[in-house]
Structure 1
Amino acid sequence: MDWHPHAQQLADRVTHRGSRWRAAIASTPRHLFVPAWWAWANDQWELRHGPAAPQAWLSAAYQDRTLVTRVASLHADHAQPDDHPGGVPTSSSTLPGLLLQMYRHARIGDNDTVLDVGTGTGYGTAVLASRVGADRVTSVDVDPYLVAAAGDRLAELDLKPWVVTVDATGDLPGRFDRIVATVSVCPIPASWLAALNTGGRLATTISNTSLIITATKTDDGGAVGQVERDWAMFMRTRAGADYPPGMADLVETAATADGDTVARGRFPVLDIVEDAWELRSSTGHCRCTARW
């Protein structure tokens, strides 16, 4: 199965001709990291198994879109065709264009050591390892299966970054020039600043918002950061196999049920939040502070 033209076409879509990331995208077989995934169809999650339909596999893997690999506690690698898990996605292969967006915000240089927070399938780890060298990349995830599977798939490409099972909100394994997260946090863990070398930079997103935060560690051990004029959203960090039960039923009731008193409001109702950065970036339910 010749995947190279597909990877090159993906590189053409998500990078410009002079991009330092272009070769890494073109040379990384994304399909290898996503042999199975979940697709939302017919109002349910349905399994897609790549080797059973090679052309559909290549088509899906080399589009610039996210592929959900885990719903609630059921990973697609372990699912049967008649499985239809309930719940929300808990792991995925992030769309390549968004990975590069975060890497650019992190300003990763040729000689930087990089901590990849949120191994997931390992595709992003492979891109990083191809770009700066596997010996400069450490990748962490809370899920032991994800870490093991990603490590095996990376090894198939003769890439051997350090891939570790770690709760990224706690202590981190080493010190780094760059930390880039493809999971969201709130607040930004103090351990991230502790793990940054002086002058090092982190790029992450704040849970329940579309805020991208970047920060550079200063000589006094603190940091100077900013909210980027850009947006992204990632799954939030989790400590267990699934997220705690949410309030979906209550939210649905609040959205659809009549109140005790029904009257015309004084203010217009906005339905364009998805298109307005200023509104998207202020709709979270989290105080966006760092424990530093």
Structure 2
Amino acid sequence: MKWESRAHALADRVTDPDSRWLAPVARVPRHTLVPRWWATDDSGRWTLRDGPSDPGAWAEAAYADRSLITRVGTLHADKAQLGDRPEGLPTSSATLPSLVVRMLRHGRLADGLSLLDLGTGAGGLTAYACHRLGDGCVTSLDVDPYLVGVAGERLASLGHHPRMVTADATERVPGQYDRIVSTVALAPGPGLRAVLGALRPGGRIATTLARTSLIVTGWKDRSGDVIGRVERDMAGFMLTRSGDDYPPSLAELLTLAENAEGDERSTGRYPVVDVANAWELRSMLEVTTPGVELGYETSGRTRTAILVHADGSWARAVAEWTDSPEVHQGGPQRLWAALERIRNRLNTEGSLPLLGSGVRITPDGVCHLSRGTWHTSMGSA
């Protein structure tokens, strides 16, 4: 494949002309890192794409500014057969290059500083960092030994030999680093504690928080606290995981919520919204009501949103297009009411207090957010 002109065009799209990341993007043959990937067909089912058997589609996909899903559930595209239809959530990807570059910029990297790339995936961020910093400054970590191994092999074929580590970052992160850039979403509390322990005093972290699109950056001070802010920028990353797949979702409760009458029936104030793709609403919902999982579907003009929680709470809102929805709720929490309080605040004040808020992360991984008179904590027991 004649990839050089495509890589240069990609670099021009996702970096500025004077960016230090222009050359790394232009010089990495991204297709080498992603020979196979998953895409959804017209019915929404996962379908295998094999690059070498369709070089044109391979080149188009690899040098577009988009994420390529490499693993669904426990099945990696490298190990799949044509005709396989995996089920479950995406668990690994080649992140879109523009977002990789944004996260690297948030990391404030400089020559001679050690970097932990948390969430190896297909190895794209590792490759860019090796070009920029040198292999000896870069460590790439993932919980999946296959991802670490195959990314290491493909990086080696490009002449890069960073340190590759297999570890569960929610439990232990070997080593100490000047910079940590995470392309998996970290859960406040214990899930973040081990990562912070690997950050040197004076070091900087850039990550997103689990079930939000909030990019949090900060510097570690002598007390061990990380002091920073929620950037005025957003991103969506997969959750960190400890095993081959994510824990079982609340599938039974989602099924119940599709048809149950519930303890309370009412008319909602605001139209049905796909909360998962309304990033700021989704983020604030996680801040105020942690642990909510989401469902959404359309049928003609009918829109249905479902919210469920591990404590047994659920809500279903159904409406024709932008009409006021019929809302059913059950369990100890009123989840749709919690969402409507957020939407009411947004409509009343014109914004939510998340973006630009100050952050203090204590060594136990608890995130304290504040902006003006508003303050809250995430990850506390």
Same structural fold, with TM-score higher than 0.5 when normalized by the shorter chain = yes
Alignment of 1:264 with 2:264, yes or no, is no
- Report the equivalent of 1:78: 79
TM-score of the superposed pair, with normalisation by structure 1: 0.93
Using the TM superposition, give the Cα deviation of residue 169 of structure 1 relative to its aligned residue in structure 2, in angstroms. 1.6
Moved over 3 A (4+): 255-263, 272-278, 285-290
Q: Quote the RMSD (CA, aligned, Å).
A: 2.1
Contact (CA 8 Å) 1:205, 1:234: kept in 2 or not? yes
Contact (CA 8 Å) 2:35, 2:52: kept in 1 or not? yes
Contact (CA 8 Å) 2:219, 2:227: kept in 1 or not? yes
Q: Distance in 1 between matches of 2:142 and 2:266?
A: 49
- 1:1-292 alignment, distance < 5 Å: 1-41=1-41, 42-187=43-188, 189-251=192-254, 253-254=256-257, 257-259=260-262, 262-265=265-268, 267-269=269-271, 271=273, 278-284=280-286, 285-286=289-290, 291-292=364-365
Using the TM superposition, give the Cα deviation of residue 201 of structure 1 relative to its aligned residue in structure 2, in angstroms. 0.2
Using the TM superposition, give the Cα deviation of residue 123 of structure 1 relative to its aligned residue in structure 2, in angstroms. 1.5
Bigger relative contact order, structure 1 or 2 (CA pairs below 8 A, ≥6 apart): 1
Distance 1:110 1:255, change over 3 A: farther
SS in structure 2 opposite 1:182? strand
Using the TM superposition, give the Cα deviation of residue 268 of structure 1 relative to its aligned residue in structure 2, in angstroms. 2.4
Unaligned runs of 5+ in 2: 292-358, 366-381
- Matched residue type, 2:246: Y
Distance 1:169 1:275, change over 3 A: closer
Using the TM superposition, give the Cα deviation of residue 275 of structure 1 relative to its aligned residue in structure 2, in angstroms. 7.6
Q: Distance in 2 between matches of 1:148 and 1:283?
A: 37
Using the TM superposition, give the Cα deviation of residue 225 of structure 1 relative to its aligned residue in structure 2, in angstroms. 2.1
Contact (CA 8 Å) 1:151, 1:163: kept in 2 or not? yes
109-118 or 268-277, which deviates more? 268-277
Distance 1:261 1:221, change over 3 A: closer
Distance 1:229 1:44, change over 3 A: same
TM-score of the superposed pair, with normalisation by structure 2: 0.72
SS in structure 1 opposite 2:284? coil
For residues 128-162 of structure 1, what are the alpha-carbon distances to aligned partners after superposition, in whole Å with 9 as ceiling and x for unaligned?
A: 11111111000000001101101100100110000
Distance 1:208 1:252, change over 3 A: farther
Unaligned runs of 5+ in 1: none
How many residue pairs match? The answer is 291
Contact (CA 8 Å) 2:215, 2:233: kept in 1 or not? yes
Q: Distance in 1 between matches of 2:25 and 2:130?
A: 11
- The share of aligned pairs that are identical, in percent, is 51
16-25 or 226-235, which deviates more? 226-235
Larger Rg: 2
- Matched residue type, 1:78: K
Using the TM superposition, give the Cα deviation of residue 107 of structure 1 relative to its aligned residue in structure 2, in angstroms. 1.0
* Structure with the larger strand share: 2
Using the TM superposition, give the Cα deviation of residue 170 of structure 1 relative to its aligned residue in structure 2, in angstroms. 2.3
114-123 or 171-180, which deviates more? 171-180
